[in-house]
Chains A and B, each alone.
Chain A
């Protein structure tokens, strides 16, 4: 059993209504969510997630120069393309046997830290929080809004808002104070990004072997002054989020069940330690554990492994509900890893993409997302891991491993402590993110501002180390190499919304096979051949409905909160919808009455 167990309820005769949302707004890419809702028992009984875009990166990259891969794969995603470039460069560095100079690692780390800060801020404050803003809560849970107006915000002395409703008002789209400030902050953090990686979102200065960024003191000065300008905003964001989310648990008892699924989290690690990393597969476990976000797989709250080699060996790309021909009868590209471990035919290194267009049938094939799973050797299960939207898995994995110990970040085994320096209005602050009781919608969202703080704190350390190198004259940022005739490589990184891996096979100095696996295929995957639903489906299915509206003016805000809590980014879930779809007897599609923005 690899899914979340059903929740026991005193059941009434069901009153089933088909409801769909397609396209889903305030996410990146094309996503449709199709559900059956039982209004008598106020829960979602079935959920399918599908999307309708096919571009074929792994198809058109074959035969190209492998050094182009980082430039090309950036274009997979328009909000975290740099994560792809970084991951591709990691994979290429393994294949070419090249280790970039230490300063280059820190420039990449600083760029990625800025990306996390930018992306999480704009997503949380301008996209996710619209579901929690005053206008939305008024339209879906007027009773909750009335209570929010009477409830004092416990952390008001930090963020300056008196009641919970005042915070909610500040997030009203295009009008609220915080909504507007977040857009501005997302620009400052992107300027920080551009200082390190040239341009956003497709970086210009990242290369396999290092960077082209000129490591003059000015670059770091400009970055630091911007970082300090937003540091108090980060502290306030954590306080506002905590206030609103704690209030939701309190105002709507049982809300922890919304979007709850069995704890099955994956994190592939981020921020290399230049003192340890050499990009050799043979030493990958060592340098993986030295990353400043610790990789790990967490099942039911236990850390199964934090070895990147184990994580790599367990990757399985399953079919079942996806429109592809199986490739098990093709010739494998890689039979053994460099350590001699056998590589499965379902591993990304051996995947061949053979599309078979066909009808959309929710009882059979209905998606072009494949179903990435992780094979748990202990039980023989193919686990449908999710990323918790990124931050939840990163913080959970880092906390459990207890390995990260820096001047600003301490992983304790059960929590992560994040220290931020004094800003222009708030004093030095230590935040503590504790491993939560559930892997659910609220905790996925709550982790996000904490990870912004985490990235800001790490950036301070990278800055100090980088400036130290510059002052010592260690300004080399690129290491030259030859592209080998034949090689394999893999890169592990954290895209903003979670696990990211790139697997590369080179033959005759050209790309023979290239498979990026970003977070969204993990999160948005359809049912696999064992019938195990993907994480969105699993999290939505069986979740209770708290919205006060009935079927006639139902908006589905609880469902949308769950889907958005994973930070969907569908361009990464390269797939296509083909064929005549099953007609859904949708009574109606939900509407958003409040005339906003």
Chain B
């Protein structure tokens, strides 16, 4: 947990005092009907600190009562029964809610005539599918807060790569980067393909503390990402970073050394996964032998492809560090050799040679 308590330019404290009163019950309306794989919902169920059931069962002190509405986890049978809270929110009858969007937002404007890229339920009047875009247009202005879960929803992600037929984008591209919610918050972006489970939960919990009136808005950077999670690079938290410093690079994936020559983009990617691991500190990317492909970044995936080739920028930097690294590695090797010896007085001969003197005075 960070000690940051500053707010950023984009997260303004609400002007009106009535907005600052704590909320004691809030609904999370989760829509994964963006162009998604539902991987962010699945990742959410992997979080253990805290877990989704802790949140739903009210086991975290100081939070409002949370009603989670999510298609994958919903006990309902589906259809209108499941959609009821979303419909109530459209009619302004739900009370405060946090809108979570998962998946890329398609561009409806490129379709000529009637058509939908992705939809969520049907229009009760016509029986036609109701587009995701319609739901966002209806719900975003009414939402107490809006959270974008995963790189698809934050920046467009995989489905927005070059050559895509749907013209899709991230939620802030769709709503505008200057959007503010009912609580005066900007969109809260939690990128990752998928979200790192704890990164998302921690951000959500912060927003909920803010809803309860016991915390300021979460500090976000210029891309609306939580600062304490995305303020450092992969490389800065990577187990293998020290190999880089010694100019010790893996030539292929059989090596425990720095992967920058085999496609890792870690030095320039904002992400805390090597530091935090994937689950319970286990796994990750370059720290466990997987190249960083920049999946948390606005430029993902095109800026990082072909993934398995050396990033163009690292050619120079790894060349520059070579002489320094070679010297340092050598010197460390010598010192390492030295400290790998025990001192001479540890022996089982008949004479004590440790320098012990019972009458010694300073």
A residues apposed to B, CB below 8 Å: 20-30, 32, 52-56, 59-60, 62-65, 67-68, 71-72, 75-79, 81, 122, 126-127, 130, 135-136, 173-174, 180, 183, 186-187, 190-191, 194-195, 197-207, 209-214, 222, 355, 357, 359-360, 475-478, 480, 555-557, 560, 571, 576-584, 586, 588-592, 594, 596-597
Cβ B37 vs Cβ A78 within 8 A: yes
Which has the most chain A C-beta neighbours within 10 Å: B78, B117, B129, B165?
Answer: B78
- Given B113, B121, B163, which contacts A63 in the complex, CB threshold below 8 Å? B163
Tell me, in angstroms, the Cα distance from A187 to B111 when the chains sit together: 42
Inside 8 A of B45's CB, which chain A residues have their CB? 122, 126, 183, 186-187
B166 partner, pick from A55, A126, A476, beta carbons under 8 A:
A55
Are B282 and A195 touching (Cβ within 8 A)?
Answer: yes
Query: Does A180 lie within 8 Å of B129, measured CB to CB?
Result: no
* Min C-beta distance of B250 to chain A, whole Å: 9
A-B contact pairs, 5 of them (CB 8 A): A63-B163, A136-B75, A199-B290, A201-B43, A212-B290
In the complex the two chains form, what is the Cα distance from A55 to B117 in whole Å?
A: 8
Contact indicator A59/B165 (Cβ below 8 Å): yes
In the complex, how many angstroms separate the beta carbon of B284 from the nearest chain A beta carbon?
6
Which 8 A-B pairs have CB atoms at the shortest separation, nearest pair first?
A78-B39, A204-B290, A194-B283, A212-B289, A78-B37, A589-B80, A65-B306, A212-B253
A212 and B259 contacting across the interface, CB-CB below 8 Å: yes
The answer on a CB contact under 8 Å between B114 and A72 is: no
> Could you tell me if A571 and B36 are in contact, using CB atoms closer than 8 angstroms?
yes
Chain B residues whose CB sits within 8 angstroms of the CB of A25 once the complex forms: 71-72, 74-78, 82
Contacts of B57 in A (CB 8 A): 174
| A578 with B116, Cβ < 8 A, contacts A56-B166, A65-B306 known | yes
Which of B33, B127, B279 touches A583 (beta carbons < 8 Å)? Answer: B127
Q: How far is the CA of A109 from the CA of B289 in the complex (A)?
A: 17
Tell whether, in the assembled complex, residue B282 and residue A476 are in contact, meaning their CB atoms are under 8 Å apart.
no
Chain A residues near B35: list those with CB within 8 A: 53, 55
How close is A316's CB to chain B, nearest CB, in angstroms?
Answer: 25
Which chain A residues lie closer than 8 Å to B43 at the CB level?
Answer: 78, 200-201
B284-315: contact bitstring with A at CB < 8 Å (1 yes, 0 no)?
A: 11001111110100000100011111000000
Is B85's beta carbon under 8 Å from chain A?
no
Contact A180 B53 (CB under 8 A): yes
With A55-B159, A78-B40, A204-B290 known as contacts, the answer to whether A21 contacts B79 (CB < 8 A) is yes
Residues of B within 8 A of A199 (CB): 273, 278, 283-285, 290
Chain B 65-97 near chain A by CB (<8 Å), digits 1 or 0: 000000111111111111110000000000000
A194–B279 contact, CB under 8 A?
Answer: yes
**Would you call B53 and A214 a contact (CB within 8 A)?**
no
Residues of B within 8 A of A32 (CB): 122
Interface string of B108-147 (1 = CB under 8 A from A): 0001011111111110001111000000000000000000
Which range holds the interface residue count of chain B?
35 or more
- Select one of A23, A198, A596 contacting B120, CB under 8 A: A23
B290's contact among A186, A205, A591, by CB below 8 Å, is which?
Answer: A205
Contact, CB under 8 Å: B80 / A576: no
Could you mark each residue 252-266 of chain B with 1 if its beta carbon is under 8 Å from any beta carbon of chain A, else 0? 111010010000000
A582 and B127 within 8 A (CB):
yes
- Tell whether, in the assembled complex, residue A127 and residue B291 are in contact, meaning their CB atoms are under 8 Å apart: no
**B118 close to A578 (CB less than 8 A):** no
Number of A-B contacts (CB under 8 A): 296
B70 to chain A, nearest CB (A): 9
Whether B48 is near chain A, meaning CB under 8 Å from some CB there, is yes
Instruction: Specify which of A52, A135, A211, A583 is in contact with B129 (CB 8 Å cutoff).
Output: A52
A110 CA / B83 CA spacing, docked (Å): 39
Q: Please judge, given known A-B contacts A556-B77, A560-B77, A591-B80, whether A207 and B253 are in contact too, CB under 8 Å.
A: yes
A592 contacts across to B, CB distance below 8 A: 75-77, 81
Whether the Cβ atoms of B78 and A76 lie closer than 8 Å is no
A72 (CB) vs chain B CBs: closest residue? B158
How many angstroms from the CA of A173 to the CA of B78 in the assembled complex?
15
Say yes or no: A207 contacts B308, CB within 8 Å: yes
Please, how many angstroms separate the alpha-carbon atoms of A191 and B48 in the complex?
11
Query: B175 within 8 Å of A by Cβ?
Result: no
17 new A-B contacts at CB < 8 Å, known A22-B122, A53-B118, A187-B279: A23-B83, A24-B78, A32-B122, A52-B116, A55-B166, A56-B159, A56-B166, A75-B157, A78-B41, A186-B45, A199-B290, A200-B46, A201-B43, A204-B293, A560-B77, A580-B128, A591-B80
Q: Measured between alpha carbons, how far is A67 from B263 in the docked complex, in Å?
A: 12
Give B288's nearest chain A residue, CB to CB. A198
Q: A53-B118, A173-B75, A213-B288 are in contact. Are A79 and B308 (CB under 8 A)?
A: no
Q: Is the CB of A78 within 8 A of B290?
A: no
Residue from B117, B282, B291, B301 within 8 A of A204 (CB atoms): B291
Say whether B51 faces chain A, with CB atoms less than 8 Å apart. yes
Please give the distance in Å from B74's CB to the nearest CB on chain A. Answer: 4
Smallest Cβ-Cβ distance to A579: which chain B residue: B114
The reply to whether A26 and B74 form a contact with Cβ atoms under 8 Å apart is: yes
Measured between C-beta atoms, what is the minimum distance from A576 to chain B in Å?
Answer: 6
Q: Please indicate the chain B residues that have their CB under 8 angstroms from the CB of A20 in the complex.
A: 79, 122
Given A190-B46, A557-B77, A592-B76, is A79 in contact with B39 using a C-beta cutoff of 8 Å? yes
Contact A586 B127 (CB under 8 A): yes
B280 in contact (CB, < 8 A): yes
B56 interface residue (CB < 8 Å to A): yes
Residues of A within 8 Å of B162, CB to CB, are 60
Of B76, B79, B293, B309, the residue contacting A71 (CB under 8 A) is B293
Q: Which residue of B lies closest to A203 (CB)?
A: B290
Determine the distance from Cα of A584 to Cα of B161 in the docked complex, in whole angstroms: 37
| A555 to B128 alpha-carbon distance, docked (Å) | 22
Asked if residues B37 and A77 are in contact (CB atoms below 8 Å), the reply is yes
Given contacts A23-B82, A56-B164, contact A205 B307 (CB under 8 A): no
Q: Are B126 and A23 in contact (CB under 8 A)?
A: no
B116 and A214 form a contact (CB under 8 A): no
- Considering the chains assembled together, what is the distance between the CA atoms of A303 and B254 in angstroms? 41
Chain A residues with CB under 8 A of B226 = none
Q: Which residues of the other chain, A, contact B78 by a CB distance below 8 angstroms? A: 21-26, 560
Q: Which of B116, B295, B301 has the most CB of A within 10 A?
A: B116
A21 to B80, CA, bound (A): 8
| Shortest distance from the beta carbon of B148 to any chain A beta carbon, whole Å | 16
**Contact residues in A for B118 (Cβ distance below 8 Å):** 30, 52-54, 576
Enumerate chain A residues within 8 angstroms of B36, measured Cβ to Cβ.
78, 571
- In the complex, which residues of chain B have a beta carbon less than 8 angstroms from the beta carbon of A582? 127
Q: How far is the CB of A568 from chain B (nearest CB, A)?
A: 11
> A67 is contacted by which of B52, B163, B306 (Cβ under 8 Å)?
B306
Question: With a CB–CB cut-off of 8 A, which chain B residues contact A203?
Answer: 290
Judged by a CB distance under 8 angstroms, whether B63 is at the interface is no
Tell yes or no: B42 within 8 A of A by CB.
yes
Q: Are the C-beta atoms of A79 and B38 separated by less than 8 Å?
A: yes
Complex contact A81–B37 (CB within 8 A): yes
| Contact across chains for B280 and A191 when beta carbons are under 8 A apart | yes
Contacts of B80 on A, CB cut-off 8 Å? 588-591
How far apart are the CA atoms of A28 and B72 in the complex, in Å?
6
Distance of A480 Cα from B84 Cα, bound (Å): 55
Chain A residues, Cβ within 8 Å of B259: 212
Contact status of A205 and B288, CB under 8 A, knowing A54-B118, A60-B162, A191-B279: yes
Q: Name the B residues within 8 Å of A211 (CB-CB).
A: 253, 289
Q: Are A580 and B114 in contact (CB under 8 A)?
A: yes
Whose C-beta in chain B lies nearest to the C-beta of A71?
B307
Asked if B305 and A68 make an inter-chain contact with CB atoms under 8 angstroms apart, the answer reads yes
What B residues does A63 contact at CB under 8 A? Answer: 163
Residues of B within 8 A of A67 (CB): 306-308
Chain A residues with Cβ below 8 Å from B254 are 210, 475-478
Residues of A within 8 A of B169 (CB): none
- Check: B194 CB closer than 8 A to any chain A CB: yes
User: Is there a chain A Cβ closer than 8 Å to B29's Cβ?
Assistant: no
Do A577 and B116 touch across chains, with their CB atoms under 8 A apart?
yes
Contacts of A191 in B (CB 8 A): 279-280, 282-283
Closest to A186 in B: B45
- Chain A residues, CB < 8 A from B83: 23
Is B53's CB under 8 angstroms from A30's CB? Answer: no
